[in-house]
């Protein structure tokens, strides 16, 4: 690998002997406080990096899109509105068209751990993708994958005929094509408005994984029917603003921590093993840049 970063769940963040000045950075979450991405990829990550760097790097997390909605996350990082954020390129295909290609491959993936590691490897090693991130002043951290997406609906779906004319909130262009193929109507609705859409009947279904029913969007209150037809996984990732490199060692430490922590979390998400606890070892000295 030309840009090698060890994807191991046994190691902690990279550590060197050169200290760096303490700093607090902003981290942007487009989702609500209880959403798994907000909890796992931002708040728990912030705790991890703080402990591992002995408080030299702190992240203040702003959830619910208060700093940036999903559709403008890349711009927010580029403009230094936030220094760390979760990017779902399906919301900004014009900004990150190459990254979004990976979302269009969702139907060939049914193993979220494999999808997360594969997308991370591609994004780290593709010159074209690295250039796309650099054009937005982004430093890619690590990939992530939701578990398998299914159909979550407010009426029963038991046949292809039941899908005809059904308004379905989709999450990628490949899901849009699938909806067209089954004569359904693909609807573009922000994730934060899925609940209201299902409640009012402006949409009949949404694609989503099991967390959509509970912690992410509480859809179980308004959608009582889930059809277990696999619609693949959903890939995304986290990135940093290049401005974080202004402090010696901070970029390398933050990025390496962003890889180790999600690797542990992805393992837990996919296998159901006991949730890892912090810290896994004594905080280490800061990394050099």
pLDDT of the residue at 178: 93
Q: What percent of the chain has pLDDT over 70?
A: 80
pLDDT of the residue at 109: 79
Residues near 139 by beta carbon (within 8 Å), at least 6 away in sequence = 133, 239, 240, 241, 242, 244, 245, 251, 255
User: Comparing C-alpha atoms, which of 54, 45, 43 is closest to residue 20?
Assistant: 54
DSSP 8-state code for residue 247: S
Give the separation between CA 47 and CA 80, rounded to whole angstroms.
22
Give the separation between CA 152 and CA 39, rounded to whole angstroms.
23
Those residues of the chain that have pLDDT short of 70 are: 1-21, 245-249, 259-289
Give the separation between CA 13 and CA 177, rounded to whole angstroms.
41
As a dihedral over the C-alpha atoms of residue 274, residue 279, residue 285, residue 286, rounded to 10 degrees, the angle is: 70
Give the separation between CA 229 and CA 241, rounded to whole angstroms.
38
CA distances in angstroms from 271 to 146, 228, 255, 265, 268, listed in the order given: 13, 20, 25, 10, 5
pLDDT of the residue at 261: 59
Tokens for 170, please give them: 């989709």
How far does the chain reach from its first CA to its final CA, in angstroms?
A: 20
pLDDT of the residue at 20: 53
DSSP 8-state code for residue 27: E
pLDDT of the residue at 87: 92
Other Cβ atoms less than 10 A from the Cβ of 108: the count is 10
């Amino acid at each position: 690998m030309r840009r090698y970063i060890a994807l191991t769940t046994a190691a902690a963040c990279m550590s060197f002997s050169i200290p760096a000045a303490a700093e607090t950075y902003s981290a942007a979450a487009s989702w609500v406080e209880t959403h798994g991405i907000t909890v796992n990829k931002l708040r728990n990550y912030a705790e991890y990096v703080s402990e591992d760097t002995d408080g030299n790097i702190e992240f203040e997390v702003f959830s619910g899109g208060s700093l940036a909605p999903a559709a403008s996350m890349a711009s927010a990082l580029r403009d230094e509105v936030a220094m760390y954020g979760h990017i779902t390129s399906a919301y900004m295909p014009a900004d990150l068209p190459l990254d979004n290609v990976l979302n269009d491959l969702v139907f060939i993936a049914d193993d979220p751990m494999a999808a997360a590691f594969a997308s991370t490897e591609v994004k780290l090693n593709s010159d074209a993708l690295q250039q796309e991130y650099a054009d937005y002043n982004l430093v890619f951290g690590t990939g992530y994958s939701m578990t398998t997406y299914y159909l979550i609906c407010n009426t029963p779906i038991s046949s292809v005929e039941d899908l005809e004319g059904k308004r379905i909130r989709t999450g990628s262009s490949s899901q849009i094509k699938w909806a067209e193929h089954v004569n359904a109507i693909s609807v573009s609705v922000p994730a934060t408005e899925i609940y209201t859409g299902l409640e009012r009947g402006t949409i009949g279904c949404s694609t989503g994984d099991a967390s959509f029913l509970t912690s992410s969007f509480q859809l179980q209150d308004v959608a009582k029917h889930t059809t277990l037809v696999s619609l693949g996984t959903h890939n995304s990732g986290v990135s940093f603003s290049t401005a974080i490199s202004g402090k010696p060692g901070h970029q390398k430490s933050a990025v390496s921590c962003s890889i180790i922590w999600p690797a542990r979390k992805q393992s837990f998400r996919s296998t159901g093993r006991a949730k890892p606890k912090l810290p896994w070892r004594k905080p280490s000295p800061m990394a050099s840049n």
